[in-house]
Amino acid sequence: MPSSLFETAVRDGVVLKPLEPWHAPAFAEHMDRARDHIRPWVGPAFVTDTVEGARATLQRYATATARDGARIYGLWDGERIIGGVMFVAFDAGWGICEVGCWLEPGAVGRGLVTRSVALLMEWAFEERGMSRVEWRCRTDNLRSVAIARRLGMRSEGVLRSSWVFDGSRYDKEVFSILREEWDAARPGSR
């Protein structure tokens, strides 16, 4: 994501731009469309069902961003949010961040997440000097596992029984890519 732009074209007219508390009504409408699809894979505090809840979620990220921490970006198709990507965690001091994503069902399969996360990774490595980008997902979230692999990330292992959803426990897999691996995989690198 270029450092000087607040809006970046992803593909097919979809743009990536920061989500802010004043986007709460659009975010709440999006959550109505996405809720059932994303709930097994994201934390319960993220999945809101009111405008007030949407505002609170976006305010948490705005506060974290102001402290040079987590950040959240929406994928906008016109005036409608169809998904997004985020820095779940962002620690400039340690040079480590974690990326994440979500989409509503109608936006799946268009390559939007892979491209958007690649933009976040590029910004993290090139603009902010991060050393490591992580991706964590349930082991049975095959779409998420595939995205991590497409982005050149390596599996570092499984956190057994570390995710709770609907009264059941699931394993999470940790993926990462280091700056030198990212640099080596970029077009035009040796």
pTM for the model stands at 0.92
Residue-by-residue pLDDT tens, the chain, 190 positions? 444 347 899 999 999 999 999 999 999 999 999 999 999 899 888 888 899 999 999 999 999 999 999 999 999 999 999 999 999 999 999 999 999 999 999 999 999 999 999 999 999 999 999 999 999 999 999 999 999 999 999 999 999 999 999 999 999 999 999 999 999 987 655 4
All domains in the chain, ordered by first residue = 8-185 (3.40.630.30)
- Strands of the 71-77 sheet, one edge to the other: 8-11, 14-18, 71-77, 80-91, 96-103, 132-138, 168-178, 154-165
Total Cβ atoms within 10 A of residue 86: 24
Question: Could you give the 3-state DSSP secondary structure of residue 145?
Answer: helix
Residue 71's SS3 state is: strand
Element (H, E) at 122: helix 112-122
Angle, nearest 10°, between helix axes 24-38 and 51-66?
A: 100
N-term to C-term CA, the chain: 23
Q: Hunting for tokens 């993290």 — which residue is that?
A: 124
